[in-house]
Amino acid sequence: MKTLKKTMGVMLAALMLLSVVTLVQFSAATAQEIIDAVDITGMIEPKVGEKPVLSVDENEKFTVESVYFTNKTDRLEVKESDTFKVGKVYTGGALITAKENYRFKTTDSGACGVVATVNGKAAAANVVYNEDPATKIAVIFEFPALEDSVENKNITELNITGIKAPKVDEEIYMRADNGTGYSVESVGWYNKTDGYFLLEKDKFSADKVYTARIKVKAVDGYVFDNPTATVNGFSAKVSAIDGYKPAEYLLITYDFKDTVIQTPVETDSTEPSTQEPTETVTVEQPTTEPVTEPEPTQPVTTQPATVAPTEAVEPTEPATTEPATTQPVTDAPTEAVKPTQPATKLPVIDAAPARVSAKKANPIKVTVKTKTVKLKKLKKKDQKISAITVKNAKGKVSYKITGVQKKIGKLVKINSKGVITFKKWKAAKKGTYKISVKVSAKGNSAFKGAEKTVTVKIKVK
């Protein structure tokens, strides 16, 4: 009987102890503070041309695990190296976890019941897939389209500099300086006298009028607003380009006549006869022809002909060497003006030089080498692989992966320099993996664009 009483006493004591422990645990659980409102502060709003800032302010009640941005317009993730674009809608998100002794408010149905804001503005608080909404949620805020929030600056003047004036027997110069709010996309040259476009490494000839054609593009945050233009400080013509928005792209054209002014002396010294009197007159024509709107462009004004255009037929250069050669010209000066007219039959000025069929084939050469990666290293960290070599490419070169085996589809990527990154792969196995890469050369005003697709083999040993 005594033994039974002792046993009952022990059991009663154990039951009481168990009740106390359960009560303590229940008290600890109910002691967690409920977070019913969350404000994410310090999220940097997207700005045109800037890269995303993937951080926000810390909070005493929850931990910020990650910050991310999404291009909602194109449904793309914004990488840390990307820049925000005009006209796109972006959302910013923060993945947060409740700290110890805190939990997020939930509804009776188990949904997130938190009221969220980002920088004080209403945002959405969403459940994270496969996570307890009481401990982890995502706060998402949609920013206004950047074209609505960023005011574009108008460009009303284009001052093109850095164009080299044509000189006889010198190769054409196909570059110009960028300016505030715009970049120079291409520079081309047109032989206005004979009616054709020049190609890279062509040389300027005597007795010709050459037109510089500069294609310009407004950079992000700027638009063209019916601007005036100059080339090397002299008035130039501004035209729209067929197929492009005039607020974004324009064509600047300017006639250089340096070579035409300089050549009469050379021509007369080699041709004492009057067999080609019309050429002599065309040299003087720009000073009297109404088409001479860009006449200020003639930096070489040392020729006497420019001082007295009406007398250019009689006493100009030929008079100093062989006066007799100028006599036939004075009989019909008005008729001599006509041969210069064909020079005005220039293709539509707003047609981009890139559309001329005289372009040469792009001489790009692409070679590929098989690369080997050690299995142990691939399992531990990313591997950088340089397997593609490009030579003689004309224009900007770009790379794009066009095909890859499914098992490594999300593990490989290629950068702007053609370097392939094989991401860390813990489950990697030995073998040969193939990646198809398209290499593109954009071309320029003299060479066509070109594409070549190559196969890169990576051996994992």
Domain range enclosing 251: 154-355
Banded model confidence at residue 364, pLDDT cuts 50, 70, 90: very high
Residue 287 lies in a domain: yes
What pTM value is reported for the model? 0.33
In angstroms, rounded to a whole number, what is the distance separating the alpha carbons of residues 140 and 95? 9
Evaluate whether residue 296 is within a structural domain: yes
- The CATH number covering residue 370 comes to 2.60.40.10
Domain count, the chain: 4
Residues 167, 277 within the same domain: yes
User: Measured between alpha carbons, how far is 17 from 29 in angstroms, rounded to an integer?
Assistant: 19
Read off the pLDDT of residues 400-448 as tens digits, 9 standing for 90 and up: 998 888 778 889 999 999 999 999 988 888 999 999 999 999 988 788 8
Query: Does residue 24 share a domain with residue 40?
Result: no
**Is the confidence at residue 115, as pLDDT, over 90?**
yes
According to the model, what pLDDT value does residue 326 have?
42
> What distance in Å separates the CA atoms of residue 195 and residue 356, rounded to the nearest whole number?
12
Looking at 128, 149, 170, which one is the last position of a domain? Answer: 149
pLDDT tens-place string over residues 131-145: 999 999 999 999 998
25 and 135 in a single domain? The answer is no
The pLDDT assigned to 65 comes to 93
Question: Residue 25: helix, strand or coil by DSSP?
Answer: helix
Percent residues over pLDDT 70 in the chain: 71
Whether residue 187 is found in the same domain as residue 234: yes
Residue 268 has pLDDT above 90, yes or no: no
Q: In sequence order, what are the residues at sequence separation of 6 or more whose Cβ sits closer than 8 angstroms to the Cβ of residue 200? A: 172, 174, 360, 394, 444, 445, 446, 447
Segment 163-172 mean pLDDT: 89
The residue written with tokens 């051996």 in the block is: 459
Counting residues of the chain whose pLDDT is more than 90, the rounded percentage is 53
**Residue 185 and residue 280 in one domain:** yes
Q: Residue 10 has what pLDDT?
A: 67
pLDDT at 409: 81
Residue 212 lies in a domain: yes
Average pLDDT over residues 215-239: 93
Model confidence at 11, pLDDT cuts 50, 70, 90, reads confident
Task: Name the residue with higher pLDDT: 264 or 65.
Answer: 65
| Residue at 139 is within a domain | yes
Same domain for 321 and 409, yes or no, is no
How far apart CA 283 and CA 281 sit, in angstroms, is 5
> What gap in Å lies between CA 173 and CA 195, rounded to an integer?
19
d(CA 391, CA 80): 30
Q: For the chain, what is the mean pLDDT?
A: 78
Among the three residues 332, 355, 378, which one is the final residue of a domain in this structure?
A: 355
Asked whether the beta carbons of 93 and 69 are under 8 A apart, the reply is yes
pLDDT for the residue numbered 33 = 93
Q: Is the pLDDT of residue 75 over 60?
A: yes
Q: Between 302 and 39, name the one with better pLDDT.
A: 39
Tell which of 149, 165, 190 closes a domain: 149
Specify if 260 maps to a domain. yes
pLDDT tier at 330, thresholds 50, 70, 90: very low
Give me the pLDDT at residue 371, please.
93
Is residue 140 domain-shared with residue 159, that is, in the same domain? no
Is residue 142 included in any domain, yes or no? Answer: yes
131, 252: one domain: no
pLDDT of 147 strictly over 80: no
Q: Is the pLDDT of residue 15 over 60?
A: yes
Residue 130 pLDDT > 60 = yes
Between residues 44 and 16, the one the model is more confident about? 44
SS3 content of the chain, % helix, strand, coil (to 5): 20, 35, 45
The pLDDT, as a whole number, for residue 274 is: 36
Q: Which residue has the higher pLDDT, 27 or 429?
A: 429
- Same domain? For 234 and 337 the reply is yes
Q: Are residues 5 and 51 in the same domain?
A: no
Q: How far is CA 92 from CA 59, 78, 80, in A?
A: 18, 10, 13
Do 216 and 278 lie in a common domain? Answer: yes
Strands 115-118 and 121-127: antiparallel
Q: Is residue 22 part of a domain?
A: yes
Q: Is the predicted pLDDT of residue 323 greater than 60, yes or no?
A: no
Q: Mind listing the pLDDT tens digit for each residue in 79-110? A: 999 999 988 999 999 999 999 999 999 998 88
pLDDT confidence of residue 325: 42
Of 295, 455, 443, 288, give the one whose Cα is nearest residue 355.
443
pLDDT, residue 407, reads 79
pLDDT, residue 257, reads: 80
Give the residue-averaged pLDDT of 8-21. Answer: 66
The confidence score (pLDDT) of residue 192 equals 92
CB atoms within 10 A of CB 350: 15
Q: Which of 102, 110, 119 is nearest to 56 (CA)?
A: 119
Whether residues 144 and 159 fall in one domain: no
Q: What is the pLDDT of residue 77?
A: 93
Q: Is residue 360 part of a domain?
A: no
Give CB contacts under 8 A, 24+ apart, made by 416-419.
418/386, 418/388, 418/390, 419/384, 419/385, 419/386
What average pLDDT does the segment 281-309 reach? Answer: 41
Does residue 231 register a pLDDT over 70? yes
